Amino acid sequence: MSFQQGVQTVLLIGANGQVGHALKSAGADINTPFEWHATTRADLDVSNFSAVKDLVRTLKPNWIVNAAAYTAVDKAETEAQLAQRINADLPHTLAVEAQALGAAVVHYSTDYVFDGQAHSPYTEADQPNPQSAYGRSKWAGEQAVTAHCEKHLVLRTCWVYGAHGGNFLKTMLRLAQHKDSLRVVADQWGAPTSADLIARTTLGMMHVCDSSEHPPWGTYHVSASGRTNWHAYACEAIAQAKRLGLVTRLDAEGIQAIPASDYPTPASRPANSCLNTDKLATVLGHPLADWHNGVQDTIQELAASGWRHL
């Protein structure tokens, strides 16, 4: 992937998260016209909107990429106001500031904006119907961005993981190092999507919008190809990890499939988190990689980094 346009200033908010970290890495690996200004929690309190506005007005970026989010899905049921502030009010602030500058906003959202009851992958045209405080806050954030900034990319994704940060994949590998058996939900479906895939797709869409006479602004689904459930995902990950020596104790046969009703949580999880990515594939000119590929790459990265010794 190469870019031919002039240098664009990008303000990346939330650079310490999974997607933010991957964006920094991908931006360094790929020859892009983007000059990144990354902020982490230590640099910027994203709940302090005066500080956020001051940063945007001082930097005057061409792009604002908002990778900051409140992601504690269950805690959001009792911290709905905080989730709303980070997931909805912050994007609103960024969208208004971007519009005043003539800048573009990239904002990440989630499958949780849907109720999970559909029998096929959700398209961008399907009506959101969030069933949790987290989902409602993310849907409000989407609406704020689309309403207040003309040049926007809202990228919905699901089941995010990576070598950096905490996620289901790393939790399963960690537990498999110490336990003889695990019980994992098998009736919730989705596509494990790597932060690296999200980051590279983001850069691709930014390039398309930057170089097009009629930029395809809007909402897109960003999800790895294929579908699986949490149980099958865990079995696949642990089997791959065992081949590389990251896991020496638990076998996939020791992972029991259970219904979601056996593992109640404060927040409702979508039974169907599958996202249709045809719209995105049409713009980029290719489908996104299968979820197996990303899991394999991430486990290999963990093995190469010596993660098993942590």
Q: Is residue 98 included in any domain, yes or no?
A: yes
Q: What is the pLDDT of residues 178-198, one digit of tens each?
A: 899 999 999 999 999 999 999
Confidence (pLDDT) at 101? 97
Average pLDDT value for residue range 219-232 = 98
Confidence (pLDDT) at 4? 45
Q: Is residue 265 included in any domain, yes or no?
A: no
CA pseudo-torsion sign 212, 217, 223, 226? negative
Q: Is residue 239 included in any domain, yes or no?
A: no
Confidence (pLDDT) at 309? 47
Q: Report the share of the chain in percent with pLDDT over 90.
A: 87
pLDDT-based confidence at residue 273 (cuts at 50, 70, 90): very high
Q: Is residue 23 included in any domain, yes or no?
A: yes
Q: Is residue 53 included in any domain, yes or no?
A: yes
Looking at the structure of the chain, the number of domains it has is 1
Closest CA to 238 of 258, 222, 256, 264: 256
Decide if 204 contacts 270 (C-beta within 8 A). no
CATH of the domain at 58: 3.40.50.720
Tell me the residue ranges of DSSP E strands in the chain: 8-13, 34-39, 63-66, 104-110, 152-157, 160-161, 182-185, 189-190, 193-194, 218-221, 228-229, 255-258
Please say if the pLDDT value at position 5 is more than 80: no
Q: Is residue 91 included in any domain, yes or no?
A: yes
Decide if 227 contacts 189 (C-beta within 8 A). yes
Query: For residue 306, what is the DSSP state?
Result: T
Distances (CA, A) of 126 to 120, 192, 220, 281: 11, 21, 12, 18
Catalytic residue among 134, 161, 220, 233: 134
Closest CA to 108 of 70, 150, 165: 70
Confidence (pLDDT) at 6? 66
Please say if the pLDDT value at position 3 is more than 60: no
Confidence (pLDDT) at 30? 60
Range of the domain at 207: 8-166+193-226+270-291
pLDDT-based confidence at residue 28 (cuts at 50, 70, 90): low
Confidence (pLDDT) at 33? 77
Q: Report the share of the chain in percent with pLDDT over 70.
A: 95
Q: Is residue 81 included in any domain, yes or no?
A: yes
Q: What is the dihedral of CA 48, 54, 55, 56, to 10 degrees?
A: 110
Decide if 101 contacts 55 (C-beta within 8 A). no
Q: Rounded CA gap, 201 and 224, in Å? A: 11
Give me the chain's average pLDDT, please.
Answer: 94
* Annotated catalytic residue 134: yes
Please say if the pLDDT value at position 2 is more than 50: no
Q: Is residue 76 included in any domain, yes or no?
A: yes
